[in-house]
A and B are shown apart, each in its own frame.
Chain A
């Protein structure tokens, strides 16, 4: 025990001590990115805080509190909550699916008083938690055993399938990709990875042909040739590219974007917010935001590498991957590199649920940072604050 006095001591940090342990640089960075979002929402509204920027500000403030609160809670508590939280998410996901079938059309959220809870958003976090916990308990190489692998694959596939039939192609892809990358980090053998990659290469066209909804297939097709349907589904992509491209090197200037202000851009305050930045601040502005994002991700990876428990490492990395996938899919989508799927730009796009999910995720990342010295035995059952003492 004397070999790691620090760990023992840190496991019982007081609240003020934990507050000091929070990586405030990262928090500042996150706030900075959120501020870029406020500015863009202010611009999209034609130079008004209403209707978007003001509400987004309140949400961010709320999210900020969540971040700090989640960060202060011991990592082992989160580990203990991992399976129950995953189970609840799954139940809610099935719930909306049934409710959606009973009601008219696709319903993706549950009304909880003033809040709208999207189980698919919740699942993004809880899947990472549950996978991290499961993989934490596996020894080296164990993950490559078929029976051991089957469990996490199912944990990924079931919610992904449920989200896919909602239908929400973007989130389903995001869940699947995030889960698979966690398996990869946990040491999944290349012998599994290589055939799987080939399998996916075969499966994608099949999926396109048989599993996708008409509107999803149309999205893919118009993505491949946006000019074929300029006023229909291709409109989004075409107008987004015009907005970005017309920004040029240094942009048209704050509040001077014409594409957004004149309503040429659809969903300009949510999924396509990045194009406003590109239009008003040009290449320099857009790349600056990407750099900010990259720094956040670098922080995430650094936190993951510095954590002593496999759970914390996988959790931190899972959150980081999630964050990265958001950015990648959204940015690639508005730049016309991939089809339009409904994925917002984290911290920047207008939207309550996404903001809460992201801030909650950063809370978990920060918890992994604050509790980076905490060691958790491989077979600990969670809530194991006393197991280390």
Chain B
């Protein structure tokens, strides 16, 4: 037994030693494990915490409500309409998506293409992803679906917001429109641009103030599981709705002007001479901006782009027209101011004048006879103004035109405005590589040749002559709480005497017998208008044609007929409103454009926007006192 014991003892000692060694090894392993835990949980805990949050929380962008746009009296011109949508959540439809679609088809019309699109999406997406079946449901359809909702397992009805322009084409050129974000629009770093349903301002006021109208996107923090299923909403930041814009526009006048221009390719603007507020800015034909919101159809787009009346162009700002005889107001101002002609200086009009071998014709074939400043304006005698222009020279005409705001954009808050053109010697040399010709000065004197203006510039011309101040058009009254400053207009750089003389001529045009627009005067006492007609040739009349007899406009194809222009202001003795109308290929300045200006100014004065209490939103300063008061 002793040997057994001894041997056993030796084995026991080896075992004990090695067991303790093993125990030490195990302790070391536990130490390593604890160290690893320390590394993961204490040292790198923050990093993994962030990753766990990333895992768990999905940030979803919530589109803000786009700011509305109002006219000066608070009539919404661009608003947000509720858009009723129908969705299917496949996993909640035990009968299957196809069966649900059939059931929906019995309640509202549903095309086969729509059905197959939804079924295709259902096969691609996970079962809990809601699929859009149809959008823009009518209220009636929406109500009927709601009624049957208990029997339509898996169907969800949703209300979204869509931009809505209640006056459609009437305000299209002012407001512009919103449309889906294109890759070129993604120049800024706003995550909203990546939202598939997001719309961005593409033209007009919608574009100019897009960032302010857009608002700031909100965020919804959603807890999701590993498969992306939404578990619950953890928190919501509603974001900031877009700022609301008040325009100086008067929707009633805008409507009247738009109607008055119906059928023409024309532009007409009305502005307040005293402060530049644009009351109406119309360009016809218009287009329906609502079409762009959901995505315009190819046929609709084709019709818009191929129309020879160019509905997509805002002619009031982007249409370039020779000002024709309306430019004589500017030439007359320059001539009197610079004492080139006295009011009594007279020219005998025989129907034409000549420089070298070139003949320059008056619009009146037989001539006007003896013409002074007053009659020259009143009867729009071309020969008189040829002579005045010849004496003035191009430089002084250029200077006067620029003082009146031609040749550069007026700065109105709508994108796409063009500068027009006031020609000069330097421009002539730079563009054609040849010096200015005296004949060109004569042509310029009657607003033909190189000079080009936009209707808004012509309106501003009328407003400046009427007020004697450097008024510029503006169309935005306020964006959010920020009021756009209407700078106190400085006096025009023409003497009062000059202005009075020219105004008298413009008054004679409409209010004295023999004036070119006497037939289109405003007869209502105290509302009389002064104005100047213009007829801009769009073709050259050859000497041959003059011999055989100038073809009448009515005999020409539409696109070769003269443009009809008219500028006016009223009331004549205390000017308040200025108006300019350009009717493309309208043929006769007074008969067509003059009549429009007359009607528009009469309507505007009768409505008397200026003397109404302003209905702009209460400002922050007055909000405390007027809180609760209805606007």
Residues of A within 8 A of B (CB): 139-140, 181, 184-187, 239, 241-249, 258-259, 262-264, 278-279, 282-283, 286-287, 290, 293-294, 297-298, 301, 304-305, 310, 313-314, 317, 321, 324, 328, 331-332, 335, 337, 377-378
Residues in B with CB closer than 8 Å to A321 are 22
Q: Does B223 sit at the interface, judged by CB under 8 A? A: yes
User: Is A317 a contact of B55 with CB atoms below 8 Å?
Assistant: no
Given A140-B7, A184-B18, A287-B34, A241 and B40 contact (CB-CB distance below 8 Å): yes
- Please encode chain B, from 482 to 523, with 1 for each CB lying within 8 Å of some chain A CB and 0 for all others: 000000000000000000000000000000000000000000
**A283–B41 touching, CB < 8 Å:** yes
Measured CA separation A139–B7 after assembly (Å): 7
Chain B residue nearest to A282 (CB atoms) is: B41
Q: Which residue of the partner chain B has the closest CB to A265? A: B226
- Bound state CA distance, A283 and B30, in angstroms? 14
Excluding A184-B18, A246-B52, 6 further A-B contacts by CB distance (< 8 Å) are: A139-B7, A244-B41, A248-B46, A262-B223, A286-B37, A328-B33
Q: Which applies to chain B's interface (DSSP): helix, strand, loop or mixed?
A: helix
Contact with A along B354-366 (1 / 0, CB 8 A): 0000000000000
Cβ of A263 and Cβ of B227 under 8 Å apart? yes
Asked whether, in the complex, the Cβ of A378 is within 8 Å of the Cβ of B48, the reply is no
A187 to B33, CA, bound (A): 28
Contact B51 A242 (CB under 8 A): yes
Contact residue among A243, A283, A317 (Cβ-Cβ distance under 8 Å from B38): A283
A-B contact list, 29 entries, CB within 8 Å: A139-B11, A140-B10, A181-B22, A184-B18, A185-B19, A187-B18, A242-B51, A244-B41, A245-B47, A245-B48, A245-B49, A245-B51, A249-B45, A259-B56, A262-B224, A262-B226, A263-B226, A278-B37, A282-B41, A283-B41, A294-B26, A294-B30, A297-B26, A305-B16, A305-B19, A328-B29, A332-B33, A377-B4, A378-B8
Could you say which of A244, A263, A264, A328 contacts B40, with CB atoms under 8 Å apart? A244
Q: Which chain A residue has the least Cβ–Cβ distance from B51?
A: A242
Rounded to whole Å, the gap between the CB of B361 and the closest CB of chain A is 83
B45 and A185 within 8 A (CB) = no
Across the interface, do A313 and B55 meet the contact criterion of CB distance under 8 Å? Answer: no
User: With a CB–CB cut-off of 8 A, which chain A residues contact B33?
Assistant: 290, 328, 331-332, 335, 337
Across the interface, do A337 and B38 meet the contact criterion of CB distance under 8 Å? no
The number of residue pairs between A and B whose CB atoms lie closer than 8 Å in the complex comes to 142
A241 touches B48 (CB 8 A): yes
Q: A263-B227, A283-B38, A301-B19 are in contact. Are A245 and B27 (CB under 8 A)?
A: no
CB of B610 within 8 Å of the partner chain: no
A283–B41 alpha-carbon span in the complex (Å): 6
B139 interface residue per 8 A CB criterion: no
Known contacts A140-B7, A264-B226, A305-B16; is A246 also within 8 Å of B51 by CB? Answer: yes
Q: Which residues in B have their C-beta under 8 angstroms from that of A243? A: 48, 52
Is B15 at the interface (CB under 8 A from chain A)? yes
Closest B residue to A328 by CB, please name it.
Answer: B29
Residue in A closest to B27 when the chains form the complex, CB atoms: A294
| Residues of A with C-beta under 8 A to B10 | 140
Instruction: Contact check, A248 vs B19: say whether CB atoms are below 8 A apart.
Output: no
Give CA–CA (A290, B38) in the complex, Å: 13
Measured between C-beta atoms, what is the minimum distance from B32 to chain A in Å?
A: 8
At the interface, yes or no: B127 with Cβ under 8 Å from chain A?
A: no
Among residues of A, the one whose C-beta sits closest to the C-beta of B54 is A242
Give the interface size class of chain B: 35 or more
User: Does A258 lie within 8 Å of B56, measured CB to CB?
Assistant: yes
- Is B225 engaged at the interface, CB distance under 8 Å to the other chain? yes
B126 at the interface (CB under 8 A from A): no
Among A140, A282, A310, A328, which residue has the most Cβ atoms of chain B within 10 A?
A140
- Interfacial chain B residues near A301, Cβ < 8 Å: 19-20, 22-23
Assess whether A248 is in contact with B45, with CB atoms less than 8 Å apart: yes
The reply to whether A140 and B11 form a contact with Cβ atoms under 8 Å apart is: yes
Tell me, rounded to whole Å, the shortest Cβ–Cβ distance linking A305 to chain B: 6
A348 to B437, alpha carbons, bound, how many Å? 103
Structural contact, B227 and A185, CB atoms closer than 8 A: no
Please determine whether B55 and A335 come into contact, CB atoms closer than 8 angstroms.
no
Contacts of B36 in A (CB 8 A): 332, 335, 337
What's the minimum C-beta distance from B158 to chain A, rounded to whole angstroms? 26
Cβ contacts under 8 Å, A328 to chain B: 26, 29, 33
Interface residues of B in 301-316 (CB under 8 A from A): none
Cβ-defined contact, B226 with A185, below 8 A: no
Of chain A, the residue at the smallest CB distance from B56 is A258
Contacts of B44 in A (CB 8 A): 245
Task: Please indicate the chain A residues that have their CB under 8 angstroms from the CB of B41 in the complex.
Answer: 244-245, 247-249, 278, 282-283, 286
A279: chain B residues at CB < 8 Å are: 52
Give CA–CA (A360, B44) in the complex, Å.
39
Rounded to whole angstroms, the CA-CA distance of A266 and B55 in the bound complex is: 14
Give Cα A186 to B49, complex, Å.
Answer: 47
CA distance A321 to B21 in the complex (A): 13
Given A258-B55, A263-B227, A282-B41, decide whether A140 and B26 contact each other with a Cβ distance below 8 A.
no
Binding site secondary structure of chain A: helix
Question: Is B52 a contact partner of A258 (Cβ separation < 8 A)?
Answer: yes
For residue B231, which residues in chain A have a CB less than 8 angstroms away from its CB? 262
Chain B positions within 8 Å of A286 at CB level: 37, 41
Pick from B19, B47, B224: contact of A304, CB under 8 Å = B19
The residue on B at minimum CB distance from A250 is: B41
Contact B11 A242 (CB under 8 A): no
Q: Are B52 and A242 in contact (CB under 8 A)?
A: yes
Given A283-B41, A290-B34, the answer on whether A262 and B225 have CB atoms closer than 8 Å is yes
Distance from A45 Cβ to chain B, minimum over Cβ atoms (Å):
15
B14 at the interface (CB under 8 A from A): yes
CB distance from A329 to the nearest CB of B (A): 10
| Chain A residues with CB below 8 A from B32, complex form | 337
Q: In the assembled complex, how far is the CB of residue A227 from the closest CB belonging to chain B, in whole angstroms?
A: 12
* CA A377 to CA B4, docked complex, whole Å: 8
Q: How far is the CB of A236 from chain B (nearest CB, A)?
A: 12
For B38, the chain A residues whose CB sits under 8 A away are 283
Q: Which of B16, B37, B224 has the most CB of A within 10 A?
A: B37
The minimal Cβ–Cβ distance linking B15 to chain A, given in whole angstroms, is 6
CB neighbours (8 Å) of B4 from chain A are 377-378
Contacts of B629 on A, CB cut-off 8 Å? none
Are A186 and B45 closer than 8 Å at their CB atoms?
no
List of B residues within 8 angstroms of A314 by Cβ = 15
Candidates B11, B34, B48, B53; contact of A187 at CB < 8 Å: B11
Digitize B300-334: 1 where CB-to-A-CB distance is under 8 Å, 0 elsewhere. Answer: 00000000000000000000000000000000000
Which of A139, A262, A321, A337 counts the most chain B CB atoms within 10 A? A262
Q: Which of A187, A294, A332 contacts B15 (CB 8 A)?
A: A187
In the complex, whether B42 has a CB less than 8 A from a CB of chain A is yes
Question: B19 near A246 (CB under 8 angstroms)?
Answer: no
Return chain A residues, CB-CB under 8 Å to B47: 245
Q: Which chain B residues numbered 42 to 85 have a C-beta less than 8 Å away from chain A?
A: 42, 44-49, 51-53, 55-56
Interface string of B213-238 (1 = CB under 8 A from A): 00000000001111100010000000
Shortest CB-to-CB span from A202 to chain B, Å, is: 22
Q: How distant is the Cα of A202 from the Cα of B186 in the complex, in angstroms?
A: 58
Of B12, B22, B42, B225, most buried by chain A (CB within 10 Å of CB) is: B22
Are A247 and B45 also in contact (CB < 8 A) when A259-B55, A278-B37, A331-B33 are?
Answer: yes
Find out whether the CB atom of A185 lies under 8 angstroms from the CB atom of B40: no
- Would A248 and B49 be within 8 Å (CB), given that A241-B40, A259-B55, A317-B19 are in contact? yes
Cβ–Cβ contact B52 & A283, under 8 A? no
A310/B51 in contact, CB under 8 A: no
- Chain B nearest CB from A269 CB (Å) reads 15
**Residues of A contacting B53 with CB < 8 Å?**
246
Q: How many Å from the CB of A3 to the closest CB on chain B?
A: 9
Shortest CB distance B21–A (Å): 9
Residues of B within 8 A of A331 (CB): 33
Contact status B11-A259, CB under 8 Å = no
* Smallest Cβ-Cβ distance to A301: which chain B residue: B23
| Beta-carbon contact of A246 and B45 below 8 Å | yes
**Chain A residues in 8 Å Cβ range of B18:** 184-185, 187
Q: Which B residues are CB-close (under 8 A) to A259?
A: 52, 55-56
